[in-house]
Amino acid sequence: MKVLVGCEYSGRVREAFAARGHDAMSCDLLPTDQPEKHYQGDIMDVIGDGWDLAIFHPPCTYLSVSGLHWNGRTPGRAEKTEEALDFVRLLMGAPIPRIAVENPVSCISTRIRKPDQVIQPWQFGADASKQTCLWLKNLPLLRPTELIEPRYVCCGNVLPEGVGKYGCANCNGEKTARPRWANQTDSGQNKLAPSDDRWKLRSTTYQGIADAFADQWGSLGVFNGDEGREETRPDQQSSIFELFGADSVPRQRRRA
C-alpha cells in the first residue's frame, strides 16, 4: 500500500510500515530523524498523490485540553485553536480512502466529533501512560497487543504487587489505589525533566503503537480497489501557510 504519515518527523510510524513492505512516506515541516523517505514541506503538496492509507498527527499545541485555559489569557491564542481545528478538518476530509487522525485528549472531541477509540501505550507493550485518541475512516479499532500492569499508589505508598487494586493497609482499602506506569511520578505527573528535546520525546509515537498500526491496518490492503481515492489537482489545494501564516513552521517546543 501507499502510506502517508503526516506531521511526523521521527519516522517511527513510517519505518514500521516500510519494514513490512509498504511504500511509506512521512511528511513534516521539520526534517526527519531517520533519513529515509520523507517530504519536508507543506503536507498539501503531497496529500492528493493517490495514497491508500494516511495516518495524521496534527500539532496539538492549540488543541490539547491541558492548554485551552490559556486561550482566554493570551491574545490571539483562541484564533490559533480555530486554525488548528480547520487543519484537522482538512486532514479528515482528505481524498484518501483510509484515514487515522491521532491526538491527545483535545477539543477535537467537542468541536468536530468524538474519537472512535482511545488507546494507551501500556496496551501495546510500553510501560507508559499517555491517553491517545484516534479518529478513524474505514479502519477497524486497534486491538491491544501486550498489556503492561501498573504499580499502584495509595496513601503515599507504592503497594505490593497483586494487592494494589484493593487499596492499602493504612486505609484498609477505603481509598481507591491509583495505577501508575514507569513514565509517571506517584502523583501522576510525567517524569521527563525540562529539556530542549522534551517536546520531541513526548510527541514521538510509541514503538508498540506504530507496530500495531502497521500490522493491523497494513494488512487490510487497498479499500475497495480505488474507491474513495482521488487525485487532487494543485489548484484545489490550500496551503498550510495560508491556513496558519508564516509562523506555521514548528518551533522547537511544538508537537510535530
Q: What are the domain boundaries of the chain? A: 2-147+195-248
Q: How confident is the model at residue 255 (pLDDT cuts 50, 70, 90)?
A: very low
Cell of 6: 503526516
Neighbours of 57 (CB within 10 A): 24
Domain 2-147+195-248 belongs to what topology? Rossmann fold (3.40.50)
Q: What is the average pLDDT score of the chain?
A: 83
| C-alpha span between 135 and 246 (Å, rounded) | 28
Question: Quick one: pLDDT at residue 174?
Answer: 60
**Choice between 234 and 153, residue whose per-residue pLDDT is larger:** 153
Based on the number of CB atoms within 10 Å of its own CB, is 58 exposed (0-12), middle (13-18) or buried (19 or more)? Answer: buried
| C-alpha span between 243 and 47 (Å, rounded) | 15
Q: Does residue 51 register a pLDDT over 80?
A: yes
Q: Does residue 238 register a pLDDT over 50?
A: no
